[in-house]
Each structure stands twice: as structure tokens, then as C-alpha cells.
Structure 1
Amino acid sequence: MEAIHQAKNLLRQELKKRLKALSEPEKVRQSLYITQKLMSHPAYQKSQRISVYLAMKKEEVDTTGILQNMFTQNKSCYIPQYIGPKMNMLRMTSMEDYEALPETKWKIKQPADDDEREDALKTGGLDLIIVPGLGFSKEGHRLGRGKGYYDIYQKRCLEESGIKPVTIALAFKEQICESIPVTDNDVTIDYVLYGDMDD
């Protein structure tokens, strides 16, 4: 277990270096490409209740275009709210709502702790979760930031709503790894959509 933990930390350092080396125009280009890939994906098209992360600008595929598309398509949009060790998915209703959200110290927008919003798990669960991460294998293994938020949340979906949502991860091509060290607690992602490969 300790060996896997160390391997994960080494890989996190390597992936952070790769992301730091990515230029802003390249991040924008790949984000647009991946957004188009997602919008044409059958799982996205047929899903009505979707949770989507709000991107850390320096390290994650931008999801702003996805939010705009969801509101245009009248899909129900849920975004993460982190309070201590727990993550909830709360309803967001418009781009104006998004713009008005406060920012955390990590420069990520999220609903305030006392914000009274519809909770996805209390109102019917989710069809699809769009998942962030630091690294992914093409087989769906994921390396997160070490807190286990998304792994725990997927288990809660089954326990609290009886529904296992489809999961789609979004990644720059630089985040794709040959393999990812995993433990029994790591949940495999259904689909990994990544930026276009050079070859």
C-alpha cells in the first residue's frame, strides 16, 4: 500500500510539471477540442442530470463551454461544493449564477458553505459525472489529488440514490499515462476524453 502511495505521489509531481509546461493557447485549443468531443458523446447527449467540475485554470480542461451548452440544451447542471472531507453536487441554474459564485483560496468557484441549493442526491441522483483529475490511463484509471472526493462520491451515488452515474473524464493529452497505480478504493472511469494526439 505504501509503495502505491509513493508511486502516486511521484506521478503527481511529474504530471504537474507537464501541465506547467503547457502554454495557455495550447490549453485553450485542447479544451475546445475536448468540449466538442464531449458534446458529441452519446452518454452526454442522453444525460439530463449532469455534474461538472469548475476548472482550476492552470491544471484542468476548461469546462465553461460545457456549462453554456448544458444551459442551452436545458440540462440540469450540478457543481461541486467541498466542505471539509465531503463533496456535494449542487444545482447551478445559469451562466449568471456561475459568474456570481465566490472563489475559494484555490481560485475555483463554488457555492458558499451556507448556500441553500438543490442537492443532486436528494432530488433523484445524477445521470453523468464529468470528472477532473491529474492523470488518466486510456483504460479509465484515474489519479486525483489524493483526497478521494470523486471515488467517495460515486459510492454515495449508489448508496443514496441507487443509481450509478456514467463517468467521463476530461484530460489534456499530456495527462494520459501508460498506467496509473491504483488501490481497491479507486473507482474506474467509464470514458476518458483527451486532447488530440500528435501521432
Structure 2
Amino acid sequence: MKHELRREMKRKLQALGEGEVFRVGMSEEVLPKTTKTLFTYLPFGNEIDPSGLAGWALDAGIEVGAPCVRGEDLEFRKIESADGPFRSGGFGIREPLADAPLLWSPAAENRGGCPKLESLLPLAVLVPALAFSRYGHRLGRGKGCYDRFLSALLKAAGDRRKEITLIGTCHDWQILSHVPAESHDIPVDCLLTGRGCIVCATE
């Protein structure tokens, strides 16, 4: 079922007008100025674009990081502008430059090669997906990069989990009544679309 749904959602994304920019809504309620760090992403294809929110965060003095793919994992490096400069990375997705400061990665924290996670809290993480349910379950692209990253992030946070807000970003039509989920899947806390923020329901 996941495979069929993934194929259908990819088809719908590809059918959107080429070159159009679909942005998430912005409000201080979603990203309060007490936030210390924002982990954004750089959109691929017709994924909804969070650059406006990232730019607002930078203007508010919030440190912003974007992901780089390293093997099967993600690491987040600091960006100074929502407009780049960036380079072409894994799967053809833009990434921060190779010499951008490393903000956090599971592997680097384990060997002391980046700031400790607690120094980045409170942290907001923008999470892309092909689809979300109103309970926050997500359908990724099948590579598992965000699944592994989120699992490691929350494990590192320990009892400070409440200082991390996981924000699913998507088009309105990507919110479905049901998304297949397994016991190890990590749901997001809220959904952010072009119309605003929806707090995810609890099951």
C-alpha cells in the first residue's frame, strides 16, 4: 500500500505547474522568537518551499541549518541566507556548501565533532514528505533518511524532547485521512501548509 500511495503522490506533485513556488504560511505562533535553531530543508521538485520561513528565522536571529545527505544519513549545516549559495547534492537536491559549519549530525555528536544537541534547543525541524495524516504520520520518499535522522535526534534529546517541535510541511491536498504507519515511525507535532498551521490530533 505504501508503494502505491507513494507513486500516486509523486505523480500529483509532478503534475503541478513547473517553476511555480508554493510557500508555507508563516506566523510567530509556529516559530516563536524563543526558538534558538531551525532545521529547514531545500525543496525538491514541487515540494512546498520553506524558504520564506527560513528567511524570517534568520532575520529574527534564529540559527538555521539545512540538510546534507551523507551515505544513508542526514547532517545539518549552517546557512546564512535562504537563497544560498548552495551546491547540488545527493539525489539532485541542493545542499549547503561543503565548508559550511556543521550544526548537528548523529555520527558527529557521538565523536564530539559538532555542537551538542542541547546547545541548539529549543529546536524546530521542518520535515518534508509526500503525504501526512492528521495524526502526524508521514509518507517519505522511501529512502529512510528522515526516519533515521528523527529517531537519532529524539534519542539524543532524551528528557528534553518537549524542546523539539517537528513540523510537517506540505500542500493542503497532501494531508490524508490515513497514512500507513509502523510502530517505529515518528509522527510530527503539527502540519504547516500555505494556509497556516494544524496541530496534529492524538490517537
CA deviations on 1:140-170 (whole Å, 9 max, x unpaired) are: 1100011222222122123334343210011
Counterparts of 1:43 and 1:67, CA distance in 2:
10
Question: SS of the residue aligned with 1:174?
Answer: helix
- Tell me if structure 2 keeps the 8 A contact 1:134–1:143: yes
User: Offset of 1:105 from its aligned partner?
Assistant: 5.7
| Corresponding residue for residue 11 of structure 1 | 5
* TM-score, length of structure 2 as denominator length: 0.78
- Tell me if structure 2 keeps the 8 A contact 1:125–1:157: no
What is the percent sequence identity of the aligned residues?
27
User: Offset of 1:174 from its aligned partner?
Assistant: 2.2
User: Offset of 1:44 from its aligned partner?
Assistant: 4.3
Moved segments of 4+, more than 6 Å: none
- Tell me if structure 2 keeps the 8 A contact 1:18–1:174: no
CA deviations on 1:46-96 (whole Å, 9 max, x unpaired) are: 31211001111x23111221221121111010111111111111212234x
| Corresponding residue for residue 41 of structure 2 | 53
Counterparts of 1:44 and 1:10, CA distance in 2:
38
Q: Which blocks of at least 5 consecutive residues in structure 1 are unaligned?
A: 1-6
Root-mean-square deviation (CA, aligned residues, Å) is 2.4
Give matches, 1:44-193, under 5 Å.
44-56=32-44, 58-95=45-82, 98-104=83-89, 106-112=91-97, 114-115=98-99, 117-120=101-104, 122-123=114-115, 124-126=119-121, 127-162=123-158, 163-164=160-161, 165-193=164-192
- Tell me if structure 1 keeps the 8 A contact 2:37–2:124: yes
Structure with the higher fraction of residues in strand conformation? 2
User: Offset of 1:117 from its aligned partner?
Assistant: 1.6
Counterparts of 1:79 and 1:94, CA distance in 2:
11
- Tell me if structure 2 keeps the 8 A contact 1:51–1:129: yes
* TM-score, length of structure 1 as denominator length: 0.79
Cα distance change of structure 1 residues 196 and 91 upon mapping to structure 2, 3 Å threshold? closer
User: Offset of 1:110 from its aligned partner?
Assistant: 0.8
Counterparts of 1:148 and 1:13, CA distance in 2:
16
Structure with the higher fraction of residues in helix conformation? 1
